[in-house]
Amino acid sequence: MISKLIVSVGQGESFDACIAKALTALDGYTLEGIRVNKDQLRAILMHPLFIQNKVLTTFMKDNAQELSKKPALPSPKKPTKEKAAPVLTKIKIDAPFPGKVPEVRVKVGDKIEGNQVLTVVSAMKMMNEINSPVTGTVIEISPKLVVDTQINEGDMMFVVEGYAAEQEQGEADPSKPATTAAVTVGGQCIIPVHVKCHRSNI
């Protein structure tokens, strides 16, 4: 369906102002259920010859192919995502499974980095490294977590205080099996601790 759009501007306003008003009118011009020549009207209004007011009677014929194309519209700007400020949090790290503790690599008060190995748990002839999910400080170590002692699944191992960061957690090595230790804040499991495993020589 051929549609006609008529706009006008106040006395003394420029032809450019009239074009701008027509483009604004097109933006809010919607007809549902039928196809109209809205894109062609926009192409005419944005054509250099039309903007320069140099349109002849043969304008439509001479520029038919160009005017039949849908005019390119400026790409909308993508909203930028603001990074949330890190929150200092106390995190409890529990044993992911039962096993023997061959080594503990940190002590209370130690400064730790994200993904740093805190302890190792031996289970099913696998040496499993328990890593920190945050950069921060070790503020508590369970009295049960002693070298050459046995721990049970769910036993509290560490309480750490720090800032969680995705880039610090790292990606699992696909060549090694991995599991997840339970990490709780306020009684709720919220952050996974990556557990790296390698075979024991025992």
- pLDDT-wise least confident of 26-30, 53-57, 91-95, 141-145: 26-30
**What is the spatial distance between Cα 107 and Cα 169, in angstroms, rounded to a whole number?**
21
**Mean pLDDT, rounded, of the chain:** 77
pLDDT tens figures, 132-178: 888 899 999 999 999 999 999 889 999 999 876 443 334 444 333 33
pLDDT tens figures, 84-100: 667 788 889 998 889 99
* Structural domains in the chain, sorted by start: 15-67 (no CATH), 89-199 (2.40.50.100)
pLDDT above 90 (res 39): no
Q: Are strands 156-164 and 178-181 parallel, antiparallel or unpaired?
A: unpaired
Question: Looking at residue 33, what is its pLDDT?
Answer: 72
Question: Looking at residue 189, what is its pLDDT?
Answer: 40
**What is the spatial distance between Cα 28 and Cα 40, in angstroms, rounded to a whole number?**
15
Q: Give the range with max mean pLDDT: 4-13, 26-35, 120-129, 187-196.
A: 120-129
Q: Are strands 134-141 and 117-123 parallel, antiparallel or unpaired?
A: unpaired
Question: Looking at residue 105, what is its pLDDT?
Answer: 94
Query: 17 phi and psi, to 5 degrees?
Result: -65, -35
The residue count for the chain: 202
pTM score = 0.46
